[in-house]
Structure 1
Amino acid sequence: MTETLEKYIPKAAVAPVFELIRIHHVHLKIVNERVSRHGDYRKLPDGAHQITVNANLNQYRFLMTLVHEIAHLVAFQKYGRAIKPHGLEWKRTFQVLMLPLIRPEIFPNKILPLLAIHFKNPKATSDTDARLSLALKQFDPPNDKNYIFEIPMGGTFRLPNGRMFKRGNKRVKRYECLEIASGRIYLFNPNAEVEFIK
C-alpha cells in the first residue's frame, strides 16, 4: 500500500496517511476521473469502508481528497450517521486529520498560507475556495480547460456533458451564464473548469 501511495501523494505524507488507512480499515480504490467528484466514501453492505479517489488528481489535491473522505468515515463513526455530511462534526474531524499534514515537507510554501485559511472553516470541496483551487491547479498536468473567470465576457464555453453557455456578468461571487439551448441563466463559481470555444 505504501508503494501505491507514493505514486499519488507527497512522500513525507505516506507514513501518516498509511497509518490513517490502517487504523480505520479503509479499502482505498483509485479510479478513473469522474467529472462530478474528486472522491467519495461509502460503507459497503459487508461493513467495509471504501474510499475512492480519482487517479488524475495532482499529489496535493489527491492527499486533501483522501483525508476529506477519511474524515467522513471517522465523523460517522464518532458522531453517528445522523450528522450532515459536511456539517460541523465533519469539519472538526477534517481539521484534526489534516493539521499534522499542513507542513512544508508536504505542501509547497506558497500553498501553506492558503491551506491555513481554508482549514479555519473547510468547505465541502476545495474547489469552492477560489484562491486555494487556483494555487493547486498550478500542479495539475496541462489541459485544455479554462476557469469561468478566464472566459471573456460574452465568450462561449462547453461543459463536459456538452451543454454550451455564454459568459455574462459577475454577481457578488459567481458569474451569470446563459445556456444557449434553453435561454436560461445559470450561476457558475469563478473557478469552475470549462472548455472555451474560440
Structure 2
Amino acid sequence: MKLTEVLKTQVPENALEYCVNLWQEHPFSFKITRSRNSCLGNYRFQNGHHTITVNHDLNVYNFLVTYIHEVAHQRVFIFDRKKKTLPHGEEWKSRFRELMLPLLNEKVFPPEILMPLSLHMRNPKASSTRDAQLMRAFRAFDENRKAAAIHLEDIELGQSFVFKKRIFKKLEAKRTRAVCMEIASKRKYTIPLLAEITPVDR
C-alpha cells in the first residue's frame, strides 16, 4: 500500500500499522509538504475529498503527533459536524485524546517525550508548538536540525539577536515567550523562547 511506504520512514515503527489503519477506516488524501511557519499540519474537506498534509521536516515523534492531530480533525468533521463545533474545541480534544491513547506507551515514544506528551494530552492545545515543554522534548530528537542552533531562551536579557531578518533585543523572559524590542522601530513584541535566532555581538 502506498501510504505504508510513505509513512514507514516518517513515524515510529510501532505506530505504522495503527496510522495506516486509521486511513483504512476513513480514507483521505495524504501529502508531505514543505516546511510551513504557520502550521505543522493541515486538514481540509473540499469537493467531497478529505486531505491531510504534514510538514516534511518533523522528526518521527512530532510527525506522528501532528498526523494524529489532523486525523482527529477529520473525525470531528465526519462524526460531529451536525454540532456547532470550534476548530480545536471539546469535540476535537476528545477525538484527539481517543486516537492518541493507544500510542501513549514506551513502545512508541521514548520516556523523554512520553511524560510531557501525556501531560499535553490532558488538555491538548491547538498546536503542540504552544507547549514549550513538549517542544523541547521533541527538539532533542531533531536530527535534521543544526546541532549548533541557538534559541531565544539560550541568550541573556539585554542580548541583541536577529529573528526573521530583523534585529531585536531581549528584554524580559516569561513562561514560554520573551518580551523583545525591535531595534529599528523601538516597538515591543513577544517572541517564543523556542524560536531559532542569531545572536548579535554586543
TM-score by structure 2 length? 0.89
Cα gap change, 1:172 to 1:66, in 2 (>3 Å): closer
Identity within the alignment, %: 39
Deviation at 1:33, TM superposition (A): 1.0
Matched, 1:181 2:184: yes
CA distance in structure 1 between the partners assigned to 2:31 and 2:104 by the alignment: 24
Deviations 1:151-181 (A, max 9, x none): 2212223334x23321111245531111223
Letter in 2 for 1:60: Y
Q: How many residues align?
A: 196
- How far apart are 1:117 and its partner, in Å? 0.7
Deviation at 1:92, TM superposition (A): 0.9
User: Which secondary structure does the structure 2 equivalent of 1:177 belong to?
Assistant: strand
Cα deviation code 1:18-52 (max 9, x no counterpart) = 111221211110011112211111112x2111111
**Cα contact 2:132–2:176 (8 A) shared by 1:** no
**Pair 158,47 (structure 1): closer, same or farther in 2 beyond 3 Å:** farther
Do the aligned residues in 2 keep the contact of 1:25 with 1:48 (CA within 8 Å)?
A: no
Task: Give ranges in structure 1 of 5+ residues lacking alignment.
Answer: none
1:30-109 alignment to 2 at 5 Å? 30-44=32-46, 46-80=47-81, 82-109=84-111
AA aligned to 2:21 is E
Following superposition, the deviation at residue 147 of structure 1 comes to: 2.4
Q: Letter of the aligned partner of 2:34 in structure 1? A: N
Q: What is the RMSD computed on CA atoms of the aligned residues?
A: 1.7
Matched with 1:146 is 150
State the TM-score, normalized to the length of structure 1. 0.91
In 2, the alpha carbon distance for the partners of 1:195 and 1:41 equals 33
Deviates more, 1:135-144 or 1:7-16: 135-144
**Quick check: 140-149 or 35-44, which moved more?**
140-149
The worse-fitting range, judged by mean Cα deviation, of 172-181 and 88-97 is: 172-181
